[in-house]
Chains A and B, each alone.
Chain A
Amino acid sequence: MDRTQWLLTESQLREWVRSLLDAGNSVVAPVEEDGVLLFRPLTSEERAILAPSGKTRWSPKEFLFPRSEPLYRYTLDGGEVEIENPPAPQRPQVLFGVRSCDAGGLLRLDEIFLSGTKDPLYAARRESTTVVSMACAAADPECFCTAVGGSPVGEEGSDLQLVPLEEGWLLRVLTEKGEALFGDVDERWQDAPAAIAKEVEKLERRVAGQIERSPVKQEWSKTLEDGFEHEAWDRLAQHCLGCSVCAYVCPSCSCFDMNHEANAWCGEQCRSWDACTFAIFTHHASGHNPRSTHQERYRQRVLHKFAFKAEDDEPFRCVGCGRCVALCPAGLDIVDTVTAAVAAIREEGADAAR
């Protein structure tokens, strides 16, 4: 597709957000709430935080995969049971200002919910969602997209992309879905010259240069799998507290559990976020727990990001947003962990006993 691109001023950008709202879209963008940057549906374009860098506290995944959602509801009336399906999405949704890493994270969710048997609730929401990503003019200290094959101006998962440049906000159309978001393009919008691509490259180089982590290598996946039983895991995951901050802030973690909320008259069967780092995640009804230590549970999370692949060249499931690194209350670092695990496995052999 021909690339269409414009250079917008901030007020033009806000006007555009306004027009998206007026057209009946639910526009989900970063806003500040009690000092925390979060994705929220906008009620006015003024609330959106259009920042050249910095990411929200957690990813926008909850707008495709809600924290909790009813799969069906029922009411009991005398002996009668009435079942009600959850409502289909009412309005098209625009995820606005999504960082490149998070946009990539949405594709990882697609892998789970859309490959094979499609999840109808997710699919409907995904279908009606357009992603407007926002490249980064600076990396946060925890960022490492470039170490896992991403880029601060990565296009993966975006329908449209905004790039903060000195000249203004570069808006590029990347997919047909992205193009469909415009009615008639505002004639006051200034076309971006082809040469602007150079500026984008410069930005990419500059921001990538701020990221100090060295790349996680594809071939590590196999090493990690081979060294599944290696004793290094005991040491590396010693401090894990068994919460789920890492999984819940992560753009690509997708685990859930079924829960039932009910009283004597009505109830609902729900799907709610869950995480492999919780002890009860794998707790069997018999009392047996196949992952009985927090070391085994943390290893599961790390390996699910960096190993357990069907094909060797499959991308990692970690997109390098660094949130789990920045927010882990025990200070665990997923890249340091894989790096140390790989080193230990190579040095001491895959089956150094646990």
Chain B
Amino acid sequence: MTEANVTVAESGTGSVPEGWQPHIVALVCNWCSYAGADMAGTTRLEYPANVRMVRFPCTGRMSPLMILKAFEQGADGVLVSGCHPGDCHYVQGNLVARRRFTIFRSLMDFIGIDLRRLHFAWVSAAEGHKWARVVSDVTAAVSEAGPLPAFESPEDWDGVELPSVGDGGPQELTADQLDLLRANLRRAASEVLAAKRVGVVIGYGAGSLPGQNVPKLVTDSSACEILDWGHGCVNNLSTYIGDALEHNDRVAVVVKTCDLGAITGLIREDQVRRDQLLLIGMQCPGVHSGSALAAKCLSCSGDPHPICDLVVSVDGVHESCLDPSDAALDMPDARDEQIAYLESLPYAERWRYWQRQFGRCLRCYACRAACPLCYCSSCIADKHRPQWVPTSIDNAGNSTWNIIRAIHLAGRCSGCDECARACPADIRLDLINRKLALEVERQYGRVGLDPEEKSALIDFRMEDSEEFIL
């Protein structure tokens, strides 16, 4: 749409129009790099004139939204520059930003943004020479990368065949065992309601389609017969906790092990207190996606997790509640190979892959609605002043939306895959989330099921790695 966009190369073919010069946007911190650039100017250093500067109070104020906006508006490259660690005018803004950029950069790489387009630097007010050098280097790198590929779905493209995820998953349960589990669940639910330990049980009932289960709220201890359990119990019911707590002091939630990360997240982020919840942990036969086991289940044992208050297995119902700080949640994932495969493809191929996925996005926001950790009362995608996420339902706007959704969940996403399940367009949001989770873990270590632990992206260490920063 934009003027700058006009120079974008056709269909990402890599053809460089004659006389093309890269457009580069530099987001700079007012207290250091901006002054550094000024210094470069007053000392009459020569450097390329391709960079347009936007001044910010701190790298901590620079959201990935702003970088995405630059790309969406036709920039071929972006440079982010701020104060050296330890020199932040606001003490730690750049340290939090450093983590955020590390993770954001890995996602941009994953979706096919050539990293020669995206640069980060520490340039102080006294480093006029460094500023000139950084700008020259960045300009050279962006020139090499060429014009930004277009935000559009590839036409007539055969696509990428991802490696299959193989099989695995929890032990198959027999029909009798499932019946036993259901009976145990109904008994447990009915007892906690009768004993007034909770006002409502959030569980599953039968759906209207074959094999389908749907969320059901039960408030009456004699109505627990409608509760069901089996392969159709896909929903992460923690999405309903907030609403249920509006009418009840304490609620019981029927949970699978894969739902627990979200509940921990909600407690960690002060959306709910542990004592408002009674968790009924279920032995899980694995849930279905279509007629097959969902990908997340392939690496799961299906055992109910001991941090739940009640544990329901074929053996019966037990009171539990292990201290969460002792609880490990180790879930390797069969999809990691798919991620590695995508990462092995050239940028152009990755870009095509994700542009076709994002091109399908309808902006129905089911991913957001189904996510237990997307609880903002007003989402950035719904804001128009300023409008960071384009409202138009096209590749540019959809790309921004899909990237920013993932970034807002980075370090928080619990891997329950609800967004990907809800997505009517089958966009592989699960791969994006998992990629970010892997990167967060690789850089900053794992955050487990202890709500007392801080999530990685609101935390920092002075010695965090920064090998990519100029």
A and B: bona fide binding partners: yes
A contact set with B: CB distance below 8 Å = 33-36, 38, 43-44, 47, 57-58, 67-68, 73, 75, 141-142, 238-239, 241-245, 247-249, 257, 259-261, 263, 265-268, 270, 272-273, 275, 278, 280, 325-327, 329-333, 335-336
8 closest A-B pairs (Cβ-Cβ)? A331-B214, A329-B422, A243-B366, A67-B393, A259-B391, A243-B369, A241-B369, A68-B392
B317: chain A residues at CB < 8 Å are none
A278: chain B residues at CB < 8 Å are 365
| A327 and B382 within 8 A (CB) | no
| B370 and A249 within 8 A (CB) | no
Closest chain-B Cβ to A301's Cβ sits at a distance in Å of 13
Which of A142, A244, A245, A336 counts the most chain B CB atoms within 10 A?
A245
B156: chain A residues at CB < 8 Å are 43-44, 47
- Which of B274-282, B355-363, B408-416 binds A? B355-363
Q: Residue A280 contacts which of B360, B363, B382, B426 (CB distance < 8 angstroms)?
A: B382
| B426 and A245 within 8 A (CB) | no
| B392 and A33 within 8 A (CB) | no
Question: Which residues from 334 to 393 on chain B have a C-beta closer than 8 Å to any C-beta of chain A?
Answer: 356-357, 360, 362-366, 368-370, 382, 384, 387, 390-393
Q: Does B159 contact A (CB under 8 A)?
A: yes
Which of A34, A36, A265, A327 counts the most chain B CB atoms within 10 A?
A34
Which applies to chain B's interface (DSSP): helix, strand, loop or mixed? loop
A47: chain B residues at CB < 8 Å are 156
Q: Does B13 contact A (CB under 8 A)?
A: no
Give Cα A177–Cα B156 distance, bound, in whole angstroms.
29
Give Cα A261–Cα B387 distance, bound, in whole angstroms.
8
| B3 and A265 within 8 A (CB) | yes
| B360 and A33 within 8 A (CB) | yes
Known: A272-B391, A329-B366. 17 other contacts (CB 8 A): A34-B159, A36-B426, A38-B360, A43-B155, A43-B156, A57-B424, A57-B426, A68-B397, A241-B370, A245-B424, A248-B424, A257-B391, A259-B384, A261-B391, A265-B2, A273-B393, A329-B422
Give Cα A142–Cα B422 distance, bound, in whole angstroms.
17
**Complex: chain A residue closest to B362, CB-CB:** A248
Q: Residue B73 contacts which of A263, A270, A331 (CB distance < 8 angstroms)?
A: A263
B73: chain A residues at CB < 8 Å are 263
A68: chain B residues at CB < 8 Å are 391-394, 397
Q: Does B213 contact A (CB under 8 A)?
A: yes
Contact with A along B1-36 (1 / 0, CB 8 A): 111000000000000000000000000000000000
Closest chain-A Cβ to B11's Cβ sits at a distance in Å of 14
Give Cα A32–Cα B364 distance, bound, in whole angstroms.
21
A-B contact pairs, 7 of them (CB 8 A): A35-B426, A141-B209, A248-B364, A259-B391, A272-B391, A273-B363, A329-B235
A57: chain B residues at CB < 8 Å are 424-426
| B215 and A330 within 8 A (CB) | yes
Closest chain-B Cβ to A40's Cβ sits at a distance in Å of 9
| B393 and A239 within 8 A (CB) | no
B215: chain A residues at CB < 8 Å are 239, 330-331
- Given the interface contacts A35-B426, A243-B422, A329-B422, does A142 sit within 8 Å of B209 by beta carbon? yes
Closest chain-A Cβ to B400's Cβ sits at a distance in Å of 12
| A245 and B209 within 8 A (CB) | no
Q: Does B217 contact A (CB under 8 A)?
A: yes
| B363 and A58 within 8 A (CB) | no
A265: chain B residues at CB < 8 Å are 2-3
Q: Does B210 contact A (CB under 8 A)?
A: yes
Give Cα A38–Cα B425 distance, bound, in whole angstroms.
9
Q: Does B50 contact A (CB under 8 A)?
A: no
Closest chain-B Cβ to A35's Cβ sits at a distance in Å of 6
A266: chain B residues at CB < 8 Å are 1-3
Give Cα A36–Cα B209 distance, bound, in whole angstroms.
20
A67: chain B residues at CB < 8 Å are 362-363, 393-394
Contact with A along B195-218 (1 / 0, CB 8 A): 000000000000111101111010
**Complex: chain A residue closest to B206, CB-CB:** A331
B424: chain A residues at CB < 8 Å are 57-58, 245, 248-249, 327
| B393 and A272 within 8 A (CB) | yes
B209: chain A residues at CB < 8 Å are 141-142, 325-326
| A243 and B392 within 8 A (CB) | no
| A331 and B363 within 8 A (CB) | no
- Given the interface contacts A57-B424, A272-B393, A280-B382, does A331 sit within 8 Å of B1 by beta carbon? no
| B394 and A239 within 8 A (CB) | no
Give Cα A261–Cα B397 distance, bound, in whole angstroms.
10
Q: Does B421 contact A (CB under 8 A)?
A: yes
Q: Residue B208 contacts which of A239, A247, A333 (CB distance < 8 angstroms)?
A: A333
Question: Which residues from 45 to 77 on chain B have a C-beta closer than 8 Å to any C-beta of chain A?
Answer: 73
Give Cα A330–Cα B240 distance, bound, in whole angstroms.
10
- Given the interface contacts A67-B394, A333-B208, A336-B208, does A245 sit within 8 Å of B366 by beta carbon? yes
